[in-house]
């Protein structure tokens, strides 16, 4: 997300946030960082920092379309799988099609994450290509380039798929941050912004410390088997 911070001038600065879920469903903010803008170098540093702090293995990463993220993951967590946030993909499609087509295209693309299995979802996605390929060739070409990252969530138990095809969990936390930051016109220093984010992260972790995220309690044994 981004928040207003005064350095030499007033700007909105990027706040990088990573939330993790353990196999038994406990979720927590595991790292955050403040930087002038979003770039892969900062994400790479965050990944390396998490590994140095003891996060030895990750089975699945979920993020929006940050350029270079898969390469950074391959260097830090080579066994991890990568899922592209489908909500961000849909937003990107929306921005590139005519207004009159948006609702229809969105409703059709949503079917991709509402299927019973990966084979059915692949068929729906390819039908989508066929239907819209002539009208929006650039959109379909972009989708084909990232297709390996669109349906990874189907490799996981159905009980948790709704939690791992989009970054809604982090978006929800971001919304809390923005709402609580709204009374502040800006943060006067990076230290004040850092302290604010830290307090929100600790509050989030305390709130969810004893909660099991939806669906995870039912498939704990399966998820634990993915780890060494």
Indicate left, alpha or beta for 226 from its phi (over 0: left) and psi (-120 to 50: alpha): alpha
Give me the phi and psi of 2, to 5 degrees please.
Answer: -140, 145
Q: Answer for the pair 18, 45: CB distance below 8 angstroms, yes or no.
A: no
Model pLDDT, residue 37: 81
Model pLDDT, residue 127: 97
pLDDT digits (tens, 9 = 90+) for 102-139: 999 999 999 999 999 999 999 999 999 999 999 999 99
Give me the residues paired with residue 28 across strands: 20
Question: What are the b/e assignments for 23-49, b being 16+ CB within 10 Å?
Answer: bebbbbbbbbbbbeebeeebbbebbee
State the Cα–Cα distance between residues 78 and 93, nearest whole angstrom. Answer: 30
Model pLDDT, residue 10: 56
- Regions of the chain with pLDDT less than 70: 8-10
In the chain, where are the structural domains located? 1-56+167-215, 86-166
Q: What is the pTM of this model?
A: 0.91
CA-CA-CA-CA torsion sign (141, 146, 151, 155): positive
């Amino acid at each position: 997300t981004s928040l207003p911070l005064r350095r030499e001038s007033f700007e909105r600065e990027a706040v990088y946030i990573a939330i993790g879920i353990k196999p038994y469903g406990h979720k927590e903010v595991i790292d955050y960082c403040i930087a002038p803008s979003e770039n892969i170098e900062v994400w790479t540093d965050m990944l390396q920092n998490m590994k140095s702090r003891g996060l030895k293995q990750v089975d699945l990463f979920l993020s929006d379309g940050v350029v270079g993220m898969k390469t950074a993951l391959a260097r830090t967590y080579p066994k991890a799988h990568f899922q592209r946030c489908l909500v961000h993909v849909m937003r990107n499609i929306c921005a590139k099609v005519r207004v009159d087509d948006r609702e229809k295209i969105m409703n059709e693309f949503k079917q991709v994450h509402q299927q019973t299995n990966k084979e059915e979802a692949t068929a729906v996605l390819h039908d989508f290509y066929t239907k819209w390929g002539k009208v929006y060739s650039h959109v379909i070409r972009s989708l084909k380039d990232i297709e390996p990252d669109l349906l990874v969530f189907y490799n996981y138990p159905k009980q948790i798929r709704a939690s791992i095809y989009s970054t809604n969990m982090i978006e929800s936390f971001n919304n809390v941050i923005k709402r609580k930051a709204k009374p502040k016109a800006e943060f006067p220093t990076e230290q004040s912004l850092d302290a604010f984010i830290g307090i929100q992260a600790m509050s989030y972790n305390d709130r969810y410390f004893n909660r099991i995220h939806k669906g995870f309690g039912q498939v704990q044994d399966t998820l634990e088997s993915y780890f060494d």
